[in-house]
């Protein structure tokens, strides 16, 4: 049985958590393959809202097993908080949540290094979530990191001390004032490690490949989005992991020929949180309206998200890199009431018209060229079938499908699990 992938195609926050939750009833296993607590995946059902950071979004379904893969970085402190939030739901966590021994650990000093690096960059800062993501992946690729499996070794505390000592030296190297109380941070960290150690640590690549052999159905859940990918995103304003389809292979130990469908999630407009280029960003009442109606505030940091028109040049690029086979368009309801909608169909780049996503996008070298489409007035949030969707929305959908050459199979019309329309 093939593994299906679900990925964000923009700058994150496309609505991945919602769609994983909607699809989980079709799967035996949901597996996160990269990122860490920089992610915030929102699920809304039965009148409750849940935000997950490291735990896969299939956790609320009775039968699904949730795997945190080797490509993920785990902050035990945030992980413990997530588990504490789940306590009231009486889930059988030990049976439903498995952790890869090869996943790397975020230490308190990784967070401090993230803060120091951002402060030192000043105006050029990435706008990181300050969760220690960059420094942890640096230690991973620099072959200095600590892994979940290390916690089963007798000398893990010595290894922790040695790495922390090194980090403290590195912190001193940054010429910035970061206040911290290491004792306090460590008390919280060691307490959280005790909680983490109660969960099953597994060789997740073995587990998943056996599951494939046994014909189990697996959905790999991406975090962030393709435009934040370490290679293909708007570097250096990106995250530190492979957010694209290839990341599912390395982040779970699954071979490329085991991948089946690739579900690409995008918003009907575009948002970005943090710094970096954003060609279709709006600074007018249209952008303000998207932010207000769409409640565009980060699920992890609470920061306001920047908003703009849909960028089809960027979307097509993401579709190609990931090999997307089906699209899911989110937040269509937020666009109700705009008389006209714009979609970016090419860029003016260094004086030339181009249709591809160029090497370096800066606000002064890329100007979006738009096609204008009709808007719709109808409230979509109570609609349940594709044929009731307004004609102008159907034309908007057709325009996108023709441009990116992949069908839109799901149209999301509200944040709730039920506000999801399937198109055949």
- What minimum distance in Å lies between the beta carbon of 35 and ligand IMO? 6
Among 6, 7, 8, 13, binds Mg ion (CB under 5 A): 13
Nearest Cα to Cα of residue 328 among 260, 256, 391, 404:
404
Phi/psi for 140 (5° steps) reads: -65, -55
Q: Which stretch binds Mg ion (CB under 5 A): 12-20, 169-177, 232-240, 279-287?
A: 12-20
What is the binding site for ligand IMO (CB under 6 A)?
8, 11-13, 35, 38-41, 126-129, 131, 133-134, 223-225, 228, 239-240, 273-274, 299
Report the chain's terminal Cα–Cα distance, integer Å: 23
Q: Which does 413 bind (CB under 5 to 8 A by kind): ligand IMO, ligand GDP, Mg ion, none?
A: ligand GDP
Alpha-carbon dihedral sign for residues 234, 238, 241, 245: negative
Q: How many whole angstroms separate alpha carbon 362 and alpha carbon 350?
A: 10
Site string for Mg ion, 40-79 (x = CB under 5 A): x---------------------------------------
- What minimum distance in Å lies between the beta carbon of 225 and ligand GDP? 8
- What minimum distance in Å lies between the beta carbon of 158 and ligand IMO? 29
**305 near ligand GDP, rule: CB under 6 A:** no
Q: How many whole angstroms separate alpha carbon 326 and alpha carbon 346?
A: 23
13 is catalytic: yes
41 is catalytic: yes
Phi/psi for 167 (5° steps) reads: -60, -40
Q: How many whole angstroms separate alpha carbon 219 and alpha carbon 208?
A: 11
- What minimum distance in Å lies between the beta carbon of 107 and ligand GDP? 25
Phi/psi for 420 (5° steps) reads: -135, 120
CA dist 176 to 115, 163, 237, Å?
A: 10, 21, 21
Q: Which does 330 bind (CB under 5 to 8 A by kind): ligand IMO, ligand GDP, Mg ion, none?
A: ligand GDP
Beta bridge partners of 408: 327
**233 near Mg ion, rule: CB under 5 A:** no
Strand 218-221 vs strand 29-32: parallel, antiparallel, or unpaired?
Answer: parallel
Q: Which does 334 bind (CB under 5 to 8 A by kind): Mg ion, ligand IMO, ligand GDP, none?
A: ligand GDP
User: Three-state DSSP class for 45?
Assistant: strand
* Residues near ligand GDP, by CB under 6 A: 8, 12-18, 39-42, 44, 294, 299, 330-331, 333-334, 412-415
């Amino acid at each position: 049985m093939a593994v299906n992938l679900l990925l964000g195609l923009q700058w994150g926050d496309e609505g991945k958590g919602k769609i994983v939750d909607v699809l989980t009833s079709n799967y035996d296993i949901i597996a996160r393959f990269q990122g860490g607590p920089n992610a915030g995946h929102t699920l809304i059902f039965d009148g409750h809202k849940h935000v997950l950071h490291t735990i896969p979004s299939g956790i609320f379904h009775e039968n699904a097993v949730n795997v945190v893969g080797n490509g993920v970085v785990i902050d035990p402190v945030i992980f413990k908080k997530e588990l504490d939030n789940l306590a009231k739901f009486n889930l059988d966590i030990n049976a439903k949540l498995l952790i890869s021994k090869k996943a790397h650990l975020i230490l308190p000093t990784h967070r401090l290094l993230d803060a120091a690096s951002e402060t030192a960059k000043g105006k050029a800062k990435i706008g990181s979530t300050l969760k220690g993501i960059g420094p942890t992946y640096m230690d991973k690729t620099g072959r200095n990191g600590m892994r979940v499996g290390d916690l089963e070794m007798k000398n893990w505390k010595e290894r922790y001390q040695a790495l922390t000592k090194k980090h403290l030296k590195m912190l001193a190297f940054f010429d910035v004032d970061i206040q911290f109380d290491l004792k306090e941070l460590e008390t919280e960290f060691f307490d959280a490690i005790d909680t983490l150690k109660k969960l099953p640590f597994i060789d997740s690549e073995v587990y998943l490949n056996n599951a494939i052999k046994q014909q189990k159905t697996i959905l790999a859940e991406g975090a962030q989005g393709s435009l934040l990918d370490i290679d293909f995103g708007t570097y250096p304003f990106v995250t530190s992991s492979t957010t694209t389809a290839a990341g599912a292979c390395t982040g779970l130990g699954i071979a490329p020929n085991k991948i089946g469908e690739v579900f690409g999630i995008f918003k009907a407009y575009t948002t970005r949180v943090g710094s970096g280029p954003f060609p279709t960003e709006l600074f007018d009442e249209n952008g303000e309206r998207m932010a207000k109606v769409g409640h565009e505030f980060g699920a992890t940091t609470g920061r306001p998200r920047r908003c703009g028109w849909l960028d089809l040049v960027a979307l097509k690029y993401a579709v190609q890199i990931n090999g997307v086979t089906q699209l899911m368009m989110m937040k269509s309801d937020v666009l109700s009431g705009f008389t006209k909608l714009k979609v970016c169909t090419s860029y003016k780049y260094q004086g030339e018209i181009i249709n591809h996503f160029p090497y370096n996008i800066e606000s002064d070298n890329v100007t979006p060229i738009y096609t204008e489409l009709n808007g719709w007035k109808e409230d979509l949030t109570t609609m349940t079938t594709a044929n009731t969707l307004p004609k102008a929305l159907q034309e908007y959908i057709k325009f996108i499908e023709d441009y990116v050459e992949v069908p839109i199979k799901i149209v999301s019309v509200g944040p709730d699990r039920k506000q999801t329309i399937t198109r055949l």
